[in-house]
Amino acid sequence: MRRSRIIGTGSHLPRKVLTNHDLEGMVDTSDEWITTRTGIKERRIVDGEKPSDLATVAALKAIDSSGLEPGNLDLIIVATVTPDMTFPSTACFVQERIGAGKAFAFDVSAACSGFIYALDVADRYIRSGGAEHVLVVGVDVFSRILDWSDRTTCILFGDGAGAVVMKGEEGERGILSTHLHSDGRYWKMLYAPLNGCGQEGVKMQGNETFKVAVRMMEQVSMEALRSNGLRVEDIDLFIPHQANARIIKTTAERLSLPLDRVYMNIERYGNTSAASIPIAMDEAFREGRIRDGHILLLAAFGGGFTWASSVIRW
**Cβ neighbours of residue 162 closer than 8 Å, sequence gap 6 or more:** 9, 10, 11, 12, 58, 115, 137, 138, 139, 272, 275, 276, 277, 278, 279, 280, 281, 282
From the candidates 12, 92, 241, 244, give the one annotated as an active-site residue: 241
241 noted as active-site residue: yes
CA–CA distance, 57 with 35 (Å, rounded to integer) = 30
Query: Which one of the listed residues 20, 92, 112, 133 is annotated catalytic?
Result: 112
Identify whether 210 is preceded by a cis peptide bond (ω within 30 of 0).
no
The per-type count for the chain, helices as H runs and strands as E runs, is 9, 13
- CB–CB of 134/74 below 8 Å? yes
72 is an active site residue: no
Which among 12, 133, 179, 271 is annotated as catalytic? 271
- Catalytic (active site) residue 271: yes
- The rounded distance, in Å, linking the Cα atoms of 111 and 300 is 10
Question: Which active-site residues does the annotation give?
Answer: 112, 241, 271
